[in-house]
Amino acid sequence: MALGMMVDGKWTTEWNERDRSGKFNRTPTKFRDRITADGSSGFKAESGRYHLYVSLACPWAHRTLIMRKLKGLEDVIGVSIVDPILSDKGWAFSEQPGAIPDSVNHTQYLQDIYVKADPKYTGRITVPVLWDKEKQTIVNNESREIIRMLDVEFTEFATLENNLYPKELQQQIDDTIDKIYMPINNGVYRSGFATTQDAYNDAVTELFENLDHWESVLANQRFLCGNQLTEADICMFTTLIRFDSVYHGHFKCNLRRIVDYPNLWNYLKDLYQRPEIKETCNLDHIKRHYYMSQTQINPTQIVPKGPVIDFDERHDRDRFNA
């Protein structure tokens, strides 16, 4: 495996996103173009034009798979799924169960997609990637922006009428996604990738303070922004579904488990049990990726058998519709 990056279009395993204090600082994504319904951005929403490259293991990529399902865009936007275990050249395509080879560019490694878009690319090779088959380039590799495009700009092609960015909640949704990003979505990584005790202590403390906050919020409403499912819930879900199986042990986020939070646990089950969301979840890919790819944390690559978690257990969130 290799946690690496590209420098001037060449692969290197010299990867480091930690500062001198041992804190993990995520490198910003670099492809930030936008698809619009009217094409005014230069990238028009069209059926069959775009392709998603994702990992079932990655929480950021998982967001885009969920939105694609919730909008009913499976026949509009194609998908390729990388192998869960990083190769010596990063994310790779394979024939392993759950993986889907690159049927568009026929590459072996995801890095080839980045170099095709920019032969001198410098940066990390990450998922998700939204590819334009017409212009032969990467449109965007920022999950938050991709789910917004799928939610808002592809309405003409959506076969399911799920609006996760309703006009009356838009500011609240944006604010909530901002609020959960650093302490929770990125907070688990800041805890797990910390290389000093102080950096770890700061990150894990902030993480659980924020989980405690949302536990209180969810005592009084079904979802993060009220009683309607929104993009913010998708952003929270992909962290929570991985928490007890991976982040609690592998990343040392072990003050509490999600199952120890009555409201967060029932909220998680409520989301998971929606067929469009459940179908995108693959705990085998998730566990094998983290425990077998991140050898700087788990050098033996041993994947734990547990925990046993019943996400299909009855939840109590229907009480908010009474």
At 322 the pLDDT is 56
Query: In Å, how far are 49, 72, 74, 163, 203 from 158, measured between CA atoms?
Result: 15, 5, 9, 10, 39
pLDDT(23) > 90:
no
Contact of 58 with 125, CB cutoff 8 Å: no
Place of tokens 């690559």: 301
Tens-digit pLDDT profile for residues 119-173: 999 999 999 999 999 999 999 999 999 999 999 999 999 999 999 999 999 999 9
- Note the pLDDT of residue 2: 53
Q: Under a CB-based contact definition with an 8 Å cutoff, are residues 127 and 83 in contact?
A: no
What distance in Å separates the CA atoms of residue 96 and residue 103, rounded to the nearest whole number? 15
Domain architecture of the chain: domains with CATH: 5-157 (3.40.30.10), 167-321 (1.20.1050.10)
DSSP 14-34: ----B-TTS-B-PPPP--B--
Q: What's the N-to-C CA distance of the chain in angstroms?
A: 50
DSSP per-residue letters across 52-95: EEE-SS-HHHHHHHHHHHHTT-TTTSEEEE--SS-BTTBSB---
Predicted local distance difference test score (pLDDT) of residue 132: 98
Q: How confident is the model at residue 65 (pLDDT cuts 50, 70, 90)?
A: very high
Catalytic residues: 58, 189
The residues near 54 (Cβ < 8 Å, ≥ 6 apart) are 61, 62, 64, 65, 79, 80, 81, 82, 127, 128, 129
For the question of whether the overall pTM of this predicted structure is more than 0.75, the answer is: yes
Q: Are strands 50-54 and 78-81 parallel, antiparallel or unpaired?
A: parallel
